Homo-oligomer: A and B are copies of this chain.
Amino acid sequence: MSILVQKFGGTSVASVGHIERVARRILKARSEGHGVVVVVSAMGDMTDRLDDLAREVDYIKPESRRELDVLLSTGEQVTIALLSMVLMKMGCKARSYTGGQVRILTDSAYSRARIQEIDTTKLRADIEAGTVAVVAGFQGVDNEGDITTFGRGGSDTTAVALAAVLKADECQIFTDVEGVFTTDPRVVEGARCLEKITYEEMLELASLGSGVLHSRAVEFASKYEVPLRVLSSFEHLPGTLITNEDMDMEQPIISGIAFTRDEAKLTVLGVQDVPGIASRILGPISDANIEVDMIVQNVGADMSTDFTFTVSRDDYDETLQILKIVSDDIDAREVSGDNKIAKLSIVGVGMRSHAGVASKMFQVLAEESINILMISTSEIKISVVIAEKYLELAARALHSAFDLANDNGKLA
């Protein structure tokens, strides 16, 4: 029997009414003859509400992380019980499992635990018996029997991990969008839902804020070659299949355009270009738990350099304050910053074998008189930082220039 792992996120299970719709999706898959294992998140804003309670206690210390996981894991537990009851009501055999009951064994890194091993005994028995196993996402249990959680995107990780160990035919991630789009359809009218995309491309898109899938789940799927499908829990559409690069197929040069607005850029001007200077600048930033994204350093003629990097916009003020102290320490000329920027990236495995993609991108932006503030590239991605006000214009121009709307950006 073919096996599907179906994962439904918080918005898909936000109420009992929503859960009934989810149950019908599951019944459809069952009626098509698939063995189904379901993974669910906490209902709607449940996790936020539990988090609010923890915030009210106001004691998030390393020693209280164990308790935070005990608290947060209740959210998914509520959903598995309700969904199982709804499935039974619809005449379908169902059985709920917490992470600990399946035995999703993890390390003891509370709130960001990593899966070490999954016991498939009960799930396989359920599939054999025609019972839908409903598993709580986002959670596991360590060797001591302590509850652990996986951090952001944790339910996706649970689904992919279960699909891997069960050697499922597909891991289906149901969301509130139709699938993975060439770019944000709220910004570019012609944005198109992709039929297929590679793990690599999805990883770049996920980490660039397209928000459909968490990158950890995609990495996991890539590592264990789990065919992953993103699809709508509200509409009956095929969604987007994420798999390995398929050599037989035509490859589009670029698959999608991703962007994030919540960025800020900081520059230390007139830095002496000596070894160790980067760590003297970034060390205090990292000590403050601020994550740095893009980093650019240009060497000037006079042995001094300008050092620029981006951080999340929320961290802008704090970073600026830290930099002012650092800049005095290292005798830099001055510190400047800009928190009205955006990062825009084009992603595609086709880039690998096609020179000229970058120059085409820069040319398109130049034609629109959009100034590029920073550039960063990887094998299948080119990211630029531009002023935020040009973001929509840039996205539309690139979407059109690479002909993404028409699925024509393929190799002959």
A42 shortest CB reach to chain B, Å: 10
Number of copies: 2
Bound complex: CA of A270 vs CA of B147, how far in Å?
A: 64
Q: In the complex the two chains form, what is the Cα distance from A289 to B340 in whole Å?
A: 68
Let me know if B96 and A70 touch, CB within 8 A.
yes
**Contact A63 B88, CB 8 Å, known A53-B16, A57-B16, A101-B145:** yes
Q: Do A71 and B64 contact each other (CB < 8 Å), given the known contacts A57-B89, A59-B88? A: no
Which of A78-86, A254-262, A387-395 contacts its partner? A78-86
| CB of A67 to closest CB in B, whole Å | 4
- Which residues of the other chain, B, contact A50 by a CB distance below 8 angstroms? 78
Contact yes or no, A67 B53, CB < 8 A: no
In the bound assembly, the distance between CA atoms of A85 and B58 in angstroms comes to 9
A288, B87: Cα distance in complex, Å: 27
Q: In the bound complex, what is the Cα–Cα distance between A63 and B84 (angstroms)? A: 10
Question: Which residues on B sit within 8 Å (CB–CB) of A98?
Answer: 70, 147
**A77 in contact (CB, < 8 A):** yes
Q: Is A236 an interface residue (CB 8 A)?
A: no
Q: Does A61 belong to the interface (CB within 8 Å)?
A: yes
A54 to B86, CA, bound (A): 9
A93 → chain B, closest Cβ, in Å?
9
CB-nearest residue of chain B relative to A19?
B57
Are B85 and A54 neighbours in the complex by a CB distance under 8 Å? yes
The distance in angstroms between the C-alpha atoms of A74 and B145, with both chains bound, is 17
Interface residues on A, range: 35 or more
- Do B89 and A67 have beta carbons less than 8 Å apart? no
A100–B89 CA distance with the chains assembled, in angstroms: 27
Q: Is the CB of A58 within 8 A of B89?
A: yes
Among A56, A81, A146, residue most surrounded by chain B Cβ atoms (within 10 Å): A81
CB neighbours (8 Å) of A61 from chain B are 88
A63's closest neighbor in chain B, by CB? B88
User: In the complex, which residues of chain B have a beta carbon less than 8 angstroms from the beta carbon of A53?
Assistant: 16, 78, 82
> Would you call A323 an interface residue if the criterion is a C-beta within 8 Å of the partner chain's C-beta atoms?
no
Considering the chains assembled together, what is the distance between the CA atoms of A147 and B84 in angstroms?
Answer: 14
Interface pair A82/B54, CB less than 8 Å apart: yes
A59 and B90 alpha carbons, distance in the complex (Å): 10
User: Which B-chain residue is minimally distant from A61 (CB atoms)?
Assistant: B88
List chain B residues, Cβ under 8 A from A84: 64, 67, 70
- Tell whether, in the assembled complex, residue A67 and residue B54 are in contact, meaning their CB atoms are under 8 Å apart: no
Bound Cα distance A61, B84 (Å): 12
Q: Is A68 an interface residue (CB 8 A)?
A: yes
Residues of B within 8 A of A64 (CB): 84-85, 88-89
Neighbouring B residues of A80 by C-beta, 8 Å:
67, 70
A133–chain B nearest beta-carbon distance, Å: 13
Smallest Cβ-Cβ distance to A64: which chain B residue = B85
Query: In A308-342, which residues have CB < 8 Å from any B CB?
Result: none
Q: Contacts A74-B78, A81-B70; is A89 near B59 (CB within 8 Å)?
A: yes
A residues 90-123 in Cβ contact with B at 8 Å: 95-96, 98, 100-101
Cβ B78 vs Cβ A96 within 8 A:
no
Q: Which residues of chain B are within 8 angstroms of A63 by Cβ–Cβ distance?
A: 88
A76 to chain B, nearest CB (A): 9
A57 to chain B, nearest CB (A): 5
- Among A85, A88, A101, the most chain B Cβ lie within 10 Å of the Cβ of A85
Docked Cα-Cα span, A63 to B92, in Å, equals 11
Chain A interface residues toward B at CB < 8 A: 16, 19, 50, 53-54, 56-59, 61, 63-64, 66-68, 70-71, 73-74, 77-78, 80-82, 84-86, 88-89, 95-96, 98, 100-101, 145-147
